[in-house]
Amino acid sequence: MHEDSAGGAGGIDEVVRPDGISAGFHAYLGRAGVPGLVHAGDQRAPTSWLIGAHRHDVWELYLQTDGPATHWRVRDRDYSVGRNGLLVVPPGAVHHMVCPASTTWHYVFAAFDAAALLADLPEAVAVWQRSVPAYVPDAGSAVAPFQAFLREVTTTQSLRTTGLTLTARHLLVEVTRLMTAGEVAGQVGLHPAVAHARRLLDAAPGRRLPLAALARAVGLSPAYLGELFTEQLGASPANYHRSLRLRRAEMLLAETDASITQVAVELGFSSAQHFATAFRARTGRTPREFRRQWRGGRTPVSRVSPKPVYPESPTVGTSTW
């Protein structure tokens, strides 16, 4: 039991690792001492993992943090959810993956009674009373609140109930902002062309996307797109795409038995030597050293991505969260 020194006590949660996922957990939070909190999880899944049709009595958030775009159906509408894409599913809506992912993928999820958690915020509650699905293609601002919430889900420290309440509310407030972004006058955000370009790059880490082709796809000149992209995201499209490919390379090296050459080909490098040179320049290790350190039980500290890398399980399974 997690005692809350402010006077409350969180109950014993059921935390499981579903058969078939590569890594992660599913926590059932009905006894956590927070009204409106139902379940949450953080999972990395292999291509064999298919989330089947299911529904809930409360809202559910699905945020994909890595891997290829996954394809979903909510009620009678289809969604393609890319990296940092957020799918918001209303109570009672049947939803499921349409087909398996093309490679390993990582996602976080949570189910809430939004009205209960935000009861003192009528303006926010009104948004959640619409009971319609929503998709936010660029929900990067929700990643940190989601991570903070999941930290409280798994903590054994004091004040857990308080931590769960505060972080769940913070997450829901951020998601409310994202869902209503188009309705707020004067909101500062990514230029639509930059957001579109980033989605194209995220969806195709192994495909060569020259700046000219990217600019044509989003309707800007190459020079202007390059300037805007660098200004708003802190890296040129080419450097952003290279970092994305190297993050994916880390995942493939750690989680699969693909050869160095196979990884290089899949991620669009001209040769294994070119890949090894780029990988070492960004991480300080050759691909072979990275894999050997991982297999030896020493998780390399990445200079490319702060995300952990998990070993893959060969178990096949399905899930309904």
| Digit-coded pLDDT (tens) for 279-303 | 998 888 899 998 888 766 544 444 3
**Domain with 119 in it: what CATH number?**
2.60.120.10
Asked if the model's pLDDT at residue 307 lies above 60, the reply is no
Single-letter code of the amino acid located at 122: P
Asked if the model's pLDDT at residue 19 lies above 80, the reply is yes
Burial of 52 (0-12, 13-18, 19+ CB in 10 A): exposed
Asked if the model's pLDDT at residue 306 lies above 60, the reply is no
**Domain with 215 in it: what CATH number?**
1.10.10.60
Q: What is the mean pLDDT of residues 234-261?
A: 86
Q: Are residues 170 and 64 in the same domain?
A: yes
Q: What is the mean pLDDT of residues 218-224?
A: 88
| Other CB atoms within 10 A of residue 180 CB | 15
Q: Are residues 50 and 140 in the same domain?
A: yes
Q: Are 282 and 303 in contact (CB under 8 A)?
A: yes
> Residue 287: which residues within 8 A CB-CB, separation 6 or more?
249, 253, 260, 263, 275, 276, 279
Q: Are residues 143 and 70 in the same domain?
A: yes
Asked if the model's pLDDT at residue 310 lies above 80, the reply is no
Assigned domain for 318 exists: no
Q: Are residues 56 and 121 in the same domain?
A: yes
Q: How many domains does the chain have?
A: 3
Q: Are residues 155 and 199 in the same domain?
A: no
Q: Are residues 42 and 172 in the same domain?
A: yes
Q: Are residues 232 and 257 in the same domain?
A: no
Q: Are residues 177 and 75 in the same domain?
A: yes
238 or 252: which leads in pLDDT? 238
Asked if the model's pLDDT at residue 201 lies above 80, the reply is yes
Burial of 223 (0-12, 13-18, 19+ CB in 10 A): exposed
97-114 pLDDT, tens digit per residue, is: 999 998 899 999 999 999
Assigned domain for 314 exists: no
Mean pLDDT of the chain: 83
Q: Are residues 158 and 273 in the same domain?
A: no
For 36, 99, 112, 165, 302, the CA distances from 90, given in Å and listed in that order, are 14, 21, 10, 21, 37
Q: Are residues 233 and 248 in the same domain?
A: no
CA 111 – CA 321 distance, rounded (Å) = 10
Of 2-11, 119-128, 289-298, the poorest mean pLDDT is in 2-11
Go through 116-127 and write b for each residue having 16 or more CB atoms within 10 A of its CB, e for each that does not. ebbeebeebbeb
Asked if the model's pLDDT at residue 197 lies above 80, the reply is yes
Assigned domain for 259 exists: yes
Asked if the model's pLDDT at residue 9 lies above 80, the reply is no
The 3-state DSSP class for residue 199 equals helix
Among residues 138, 157, 183, the one where a domain terminates is 183
Q: Are residues 172 and 249 in the same domain?
A: no
Q: Are residues 224 and 249 in the same domain?
A: no
Query: What local confidence, expressed as pLDDT, does residue 187 receive?
Result: 38
Assigned domain for 279 exists: yes
Backbone angles phi, psi at 214, to 5 degrees: -65, -40
Tell me the residue range of the domain where 224 lies.
192-237
Regarding pTM above 0.85, the answer is no
Asked if the model's pLDDT at residue 181 lies above 70, the reply is yes
